[in-house]
Amino acid sequence: MVQDTSLSRKLFVGFNYTFLALMAFLCLFPIIHILAISFSSNQAVVKGLVTLWPVEFTTASYKYALSKDAFTSSIGVSLRRILFGTLVQMLMIVHIAYPLSKEATQFKMRTFYVWFFFITMLVSGGLIPTYMVIRNTGLIDTIWALVIPSAVPVFSIVLLLNFFRAIPKELEEAAFMDGAGHFKLLWKIYIPLSTPALATLFLFSIVFHWNSWFDGLIYMNDISRYPLQTYLQTIVTGFEMDVVSEEDAELLKELSNRTFRSAQVFLGALPVLLVYPLLQRYFMKGIVLGSVKE
């Protein structure tokens, strides 16, 4: 293949790189700006001197944030939510997507159940009925109120069942001839061959549970049970810091509500920023393969 080296081609490629670099910078700018504020002194932030680099570098905001019991306990709640929520979601996704990936001749009720799950993507019971169900089942103020309502993400099920349908049927027939059952077929063949799709859905689940804040606000009555994002929402919308010790008073000389909030917001975003690059190579492959129906 002859490579096009014309001037118009070079201009086109140069424009694309410039445009994409600009878009990437616009996406990263808020994160970098918040990070710079969190490491800057109160005086520098008030004077508007901070843009993309810390001014009068200090870690006082992070020391104060990590010393707050409410902040550290909210991190613990979010970690437990991710542990239980992701485990439950992945188990439900796999065990629902597998039978729905079969043909109607193999699973006679397949069409009914596909529509049964699909209709939930279009309509829902509403906020008040959902809250009443959570309350009447005794889940208020428990970690399961944050896990069970989102245990069956239908969009993820659709992605995975289409991925399963793309696996050659010959593998399934050979496994059945060797005496394998459906559970063995699922765990020994389908799941190992579906690593890109499962990694993508795993990332979806982590990001969903880490970023959710509204359910914690309505299902938790005690602030000590708030997940991290719910706690940060209360901080950003007007929570004021209170001095409880001489050590805190010394730290407050170097920070303000703005630097303190910036530190907490960045700490809240950090886990996702660290996890995404590890799973990014599976992300696009899983989305593309799972979105094409055979």
So what's the pLDDT on residue 143? 93
Token code pair at residue 90? 């992945």
DSSP letters, 67-94, are H-HHHHHHHHHHHHHHHHHHHHHHHHHH
> How many C-beta neighbours within 10 Å does residue 235 have?
22
Inter-helix orientation angle 69-100/110-122, to 10°: 150
Q: How many CB atoms lie under 10 A from the CB of residue 197?
A: 27
Long-range Cβ pairs for the range 239-244 (8 Å, 24+): 241/64
Looking at residue 253, what is its pLDDT? 61
pLDDT at 169: 84
User: What are the structural domain ranges in the chain?
Assistant: 62-290
Which pTM value belongs to this model? 0.77
Residue-level pLDDT at 247: 55
Q: What is the pLDDT of residue 292?
A: 46
- Looking at residue 243, its pLDDT comes to 47
Q: 64-92, pLDDT tens digit by residue?
A: 878 778 888 898 999 999 999 999 999 99
Structure tokens at 234: 């209360």
Residues in the chain where the model's pLDDT stays below 50: 239-241, 243-244, 290-294
Residue corresponding to tokens 């969009």:
155
What is the rounded CA–CA span in Å between residue 283 and residue 39? 32
Report the top-level CATH class of 62-290.
mainly alpha
Query: CB under 8 Å to 90, separation ≥6 — which residues?
Result: 198, 201, 202, 205
The reported pLDDT for the residue numbered 286 is 53
- How is residue 145 written in tokens? 């109120």
Distance CA 181, CA 190 (A): 12
